[in-house]
Amino acid sequence: MADAPRPPRLSDATRHDDATLLARAVPAVEGRRIAVVGDVILDCYRSDGGRSHCFPGGAGVIAGHLRRLGAQPVLVTQLANDGNARQLRRGLDDLGIEVHAVPTDAAQPVRTRRVQGHRITATPRQELIESPPPVTTGRIAGAITERRLDLDAVIFADFGHGTVTPELLDGVLPILRPSTPVLTGDVSGPRASLLAMRKFDLLTPTERELRRLSPSPSPLTPLDALGRRLVTELDLKHLLVTRDASGCVRYSSNGTKREQPSLASMYQTRVFDEVGAGDALLAAATLGLCSGLGIRSSVRLGQIAAAAAIAQIGNAAMGWERLHRVIAPQATSAASYPAQAASMPAA
């Protein structure tokens, strides 16, 4: 069997460039007003001893990353009337996130993972059973459009639980696009609305999601063909496709393709928990774009955030200190959870 390809060797110049990028980004992103539209999921981790740590996941952790990196996010989502939703609301309030919550009769989505040493196993994911009623979609649309003139960017994070639907996107995108400097998005799950995300500045699906949701789902279709076709059909500026441990590929509207090596591999980041890497990438890359950093620097910033996310157990919001730790690693322990973890509410 052939040896796996080694990641490119990091030079001192590369480390210096990444450190310089972080230094530029800190003041540039401060106070950016960004709406995050999507499903909030309670992410819970159960250890062998029975103790649980829970975090606002889904669109909640994207807003959390933005807040801890200095932005002013507003989260537009659905919240149920149950203990899990109340736990989520407390976690979002602790992060200082402005929340516009549309009530839903559905149960609040929960993802549970069991932590056994350094091994994490997930329970089957809950999926949306029914689409939300038109009145719910209308309230979500109203909350977005009312704020549109005060926003530097809008992120649509569709996790398949009904906050983001094709009907919502068809209704709000023609209103948002003329006044919103940056539109970005990501999808997760078979019910996601990737093909309704038109005229976006950046979409960040994984290769698996792209193949599952694209018009040509054949596993034999080359990734380049899928990527370029989606950029053309959805009129995207940029499409960034994550290819697991091998990094990303960026396709742009001008026809260019750029390979983005895995920074986690290049910096030899120890992988403790892959959950939330895509959320961190999307949050940081969006911040870069709406702060004038350009697509190359914005994607690089997102990759640093993704590398930082997998180096911790628990899908917690991260500040600049975590991103700097990727560039200048320090001794860390996987035994402790981030300070934002909260105890799981009683059933």
The first and second tokens of residue 97, run together, are: 């996130």
Map out the domains of the chain as residue ranges. 31-327
What is the reported pLDDT for 50? 72
The first and second tokens of residue 241, run together, are: 């496709």
What is the reported pLDDT for 116? 75
The CA distance from 292 to 252, in Å, is 17
Q: pTM for the whole thing?
A: 0.91
The CA distance from 285 to 224, in Å, is 22
The CA distance from 35 to 22, in Å, is 23
The CA distance from 215 to 230, in Å, is 9
Q: Which contiguous run of DSSP H or E holds residue 156?
A: strand 153-158
What is the full per-residue pLDDT of the chain (347 aa) written as tens digits? 444 455 556 677 888 899 999 999 999 999 999 999 999 999 998 887 777 889 999 999 999 999 999 999 999 999 999 999 999 999 999 999 999 999 998 889 998 888 876 677 766 655 555 678 899 999 999 999 999 999 999 999 999 888 999 999 999 999 999 999 999 999 987 677 899 999 999 999 999 888 887 766 667 789 999 999 999 999 999 999 998 767 899 999 999 999 988 888 888 888 788 888 999 999 999 999 999 999 999 999 999 999 999 888 888 999 999 999 998 865 444 445 565 554 434 33
> Which of 187, 79, 57, 83 has its CA nearest to residue 139?
79
Residue given tokens 């699906």 in the structure block: 205
The CA distance from 254 to 232, in Å, is 10
Tell me which CATH homologous superfamily contains domain 31-327: Ribokinase (3.40.1190.20)
Q: Which residues of 300-322 are buried (b: 16+ CB within 10 A; e: fewer)?
A: bbbbbbbbbbbbbbbbbbbebeb
The CA distance from 136 to 132, in Å, is 6
| Bridge partners of residue 257, in order along the sequence | 251
What is the reported pLDDT for 216? 64
Is beta strand 153-158 parallel, antiparallel or unpaired with respect to 33-38?
parallel
What's the CA dihedral at 224, 225, 229, 231 to 10 degrees?
0
